[in-house]
Amino acid sequence: MVVRSHSCLLLPSRRRRPASRLLVCSVCAWVFLSQQFPVVFSASVSPSENDGPAASGTDASPSASPERGSEPENVAADSWSNSLSQFVSALRASTWDVLRSGVEGTTRMHFHERHVEGIEGARRPQELFDYIVVGAGAAGCPFARTMADAGKRVLVFERGHARSRTQTPAAMDLDGAGRGINDEKISQPVITAQGVRTHIGKVMGGGTSVNVGIMIRELDEYFHFLNEKYGHSWDIQTLHKASSWIEERVSCPMPQENDFSRAICRSFSNQGFIPHGGVAGNTNYTYPIPVSPELRYGEFWGAMSLFNSSDSGFRNAADIFLIDNFSGAESVENFKPAKNIELLTDYIVLKVLFDKSGTRPRARCVNYRRTQESDLTTLGESPRRRRPSDAGSHFWAIGQTLLSRFWSLFSPQVYHACVKKNGEIVMASGAILSAVNLFKSGVGPKAQIEKLGLPLVLDVPQLGQRFSDRIVVPVGVFLTQRQQQTFSKPRISDVIGFKAFGPDCSDFKIGAHSLKCTQVIVETMYGPHAMDGPIYAARALVPPHLRNTRLVEAIFQVFSGCTQLSKKERLLQPVCFLLRRAIDCASRTAVQFSFISEPKSRGSVSLERDGTVKVEANYLDDPQDFFDAVRGVQTAIERVNGDAFRGLIDSVGRTACPVMLLDGFLQIVTRLLQETSSPSLTPAHLEQVRRRIPSNTLPHLL
């Protein structure tokens, strides 16, 4: 889009005067020279001097900025510091031909432009860290705190905002448990190649600030299996110690105090699950069911979650590990990092810089800058670009490169941060973004790096391969209006069940391939807005191959916008008035869902030349995964059709919720298409629909 709107810089019209042409050529020459001689044309400004605080309640930390000189220390004067300076200088001195990418047909991506620009960064003494952690989520935060408590200096990067009730309310407590993935402030959609919409966090705490917050400790047998099958070296006692350390800080029991929770227990008991603390076949179990942090084979038990019911349902996300003397929700609002931790929020790491002077490349530094809106858009969607004609592709590529250089002058400043001699850089950005970040750094399968037109730093054939995602198989019912009114907050898996089903489970073991037995783990979600995320963000009501069309996108944004209005406000909006019954039904949805406990299907993560992240999840590709999903649905249907839920869920009929949801869905489709001859909607038409709902409740449809 930049190239299209500013192509006049390269292709002046015939009416342009010679002086204008000279000016255009001068600008292009200046851009070219400024990139070749960065020391002359580049001005370095640290985040703390220019951009303001980078983390809630803290200074942006001059020590975290490589542009700011550190206090005199032994570290800055040792041979490693001198070596590091030589390393950065060598990077800066390795100029490259700005026109080469166009001539050789290797058009540079936007992220590549920023990376090269970042090489101009640190030129003065900088503080070095023992560890740099990229990602403040479930892995990064506990690791950073562990190293900090051991006296190590740790720098933590988070691309998203710090949590707060004003900026990220859906990430703060139980009220946002179901809404989290539908909140664009904290959740980033990922569209897989199959059309399935999943989500990752883009806020402090990562996925632990967005997901439903269920905590279950894995069985010891699983780690024994990994050691025997794959040669790992998991130490069970160390695992127990680490798990206990985590659980003591974040896990809380989910309350069990309502009729629907009791019905779930009865349905488990009727299906052969053993109550935790009881015996098989005994229906006179104690309620509430005893709580367990560990997976209980063949049983149902009270679950642990991240939500603290004694602190207004506050979400104990992973970021609490970075806080000094955490004491509840107020500690997050007044964030103070623990000793030895430097935190930069709203900064994104662009790539890792490697020193290749030794026998094996070693990570030394990272390039980072302020996070931009474009960094947090939907993953898996290809950018809409103008395609040049074959005849003009040569000049188009050259023009694109020159313009990219020009606009990079107005891009956010890029900085360096580096580790000490024996320091390490830890990628903790999740299964998708960790791989993508390394691809951008020249690490990964050789073919992948060559496709990006980047120099190969290290050939790692398995990086991004064997991707596994634990698919959810839901079965929904609709609570009666009377039952729904008994809940003041959502309920997330207050009771969990785990049992093997199938014709032959006598000798079924972890890692086994058999269509005769399925391990079914059952969790639940119900209560106010508990299912907003799966319905509106994951678009679970629509088949995957239709979920990402413009029509369906418009429909669900209308649904979501109307949901945020009060009942009185919906009466004043014609579109929302049509949906009032469907919205009421959606709010009364209660779901039992099963996970495939050991997914066998494998996919991959890759990066295209245009920057598109491609996720091949291959859900249910393995026959056992397919059979496990079918058995999960089968057992769920048996439970909801039993006597346990009688009187608590809607009965079937013409006014039943499935009919109302379908009716509302079709009414919106009709409204959107009644003036359109083609099923594809025009921007003007979508804008017309958008105007029917207040702008502060509905995002743009495009």
Domain count, the chain: 3
User: According to the model, what pLDDT value does residue 524 have?
Assistant: 93
Q: What is the mean pLDDT of residues 124-147?
A: 90
113 and 21 share one domain: yes
How far is the C-alpha of 625 from the C-alpha of 623, rounded, in Å? 5
Q: Which of 170-184, 338-352, 362-376, 650-664 has the lowest mean pLDDT?
A: 650-664
| Residue-wise pLDDT tens digits, 222-249 | 999 999 999 999 999 999 999 999 999 9
Q: What angle do CA 680, 701, 204 make, to 5 degrees?
A: 135
- The whole-model pTM stands at 0.79
- Is the pLDDT assigned to residue 389 strictly greater than 90? no
How, if at all, do strands 415-427 and 128-134 pair?
Answer: parallel
136 and 30 share one domain: yes
**Host domain of residue 338:** 2-165+318-428
Q: Which of 631, 646, 661 is the last residue of a domain?
A: 646
CA 283 to chain centre: 42
Is 183 a domain residue?
no
Residue 6, CB-side half-sphere exposure with 13 Å CA sphere: 15
> What is the 3 state secondary structure string of 107-139?
CCCHHHHHHHHHCCCCCCCCCEEEEEEECCCCC
Q: Which of 53-67, 197-211, 414-428 has the lowest mean pLDDT?
A: 53-67
How deeply is 470 buried, as exposed, middle or buried, from its count of CB atoms within 10 A (0-12, 13-18, 19+)? exposed
160 and 144 share one domain: yes
558 and 678 share one domain: yes
Phi/psi for 606 (5° steps) reads: -140, 170
Q: Are 418 and 66 in contact (CB under 8 A)?
A: yes
CA distances from 132 to 365, 416, 521 (A): 9, 11, 37
408 and 281 share one domain: no
| Helices 683-690, 550-563: inter-axial angle, 10-degree rounding | 10
Is 60 a domain residue?
yes
- Is the pLDDT assigned to residue 67 strictly greater than 80? no
Is 543 a domain residue?
yes
Is 309 a domain residue?
no
Q: What confidence category does residue 327 fall into, taking pLDDT thresholds of 50, 70 and 90?
A: confident
567 and 619 share one domain: no
How far is the C-alpha of 664 from the C-alpha of 660, rounded, in Å? 6
Q: What confidence category does residue 108 fall into, taking pLDDT thresholds of 50, 70 and 90?
A: very low
Higher pLDDT, 413 or 81: 413
499 and 620 share one domain: yes
Is 209 a domain residue?
no
- Is the pLDDT assigned to residue 6 strictly greater than 60? no
How far is the C-alpha of 632 from the C-alpha of 648, rounded, in Å? 22
Question: Which pair of tokens denotes residue 572?
Answer: 């004043």
Residue 341, CB-side half-sphere exposure with 13 Å CA sphere: 32
Q: Is the peptide bond before 288 cis (omega within 30 degrees of 0)?
A: yes
Higher pLDDT, 89 or 460: 460
User: According to the model, what pLDDT value does residue 348 have?
Assistant: 96
How far is the C-alpha of 571 from the C-alpha of 153, rounded, in Å? 57
Is 479 a domain residue?
no
Q: Which of 646, 670, 685 is the last residue of a domain?
A: 646
Q: Which of 69-73, 434-438, 603-607, 643-647 has the lowest mean pLDDT?
A: 69-73
Is 204 a domain residue?
no
Q: What is the mean pLDDT of residues 120-136?
A: 73
Question: Which pair of tokens denotes residue 593?
Answer: 């869902």
544 and 675 share one domain: yes
142 and 40 share one domain: yes
608 and 545 share one domain: no
Q: What confidence category does residue 40 fall into, taking pLDDT thresholds of 50, 70 and 90?
A: very low
Higher pLDDT, 312 or 93: 312
412 and 560 share one domain: no
40 and 142 share one domain: yes
Q: What confidence category does residue 583 fall into, taking pLDDT thresholds of 50, 70 and 90?
A: confident
DSSP letter assigned to residue 537? I
CA distances from 569 to 110, 182, 576 (A): 43, 21, 9
Is 205 a domain residue?
no
Q: What is the mean pLDDT of residues 405-425?
A: 82
How, if at all, do strands 495-501 and 465-467 pair?
Answer: unpaired
User: According to the model, what pLDDT value does residue 46 have?
Assistant: 42
Q: What confidence category does residue 261 fall into, taking pLDDT thresholds of 50, 70 and 90?
A: very high
User: According to the model, what pLDDT value does residue 684 have?
Assistant: 54
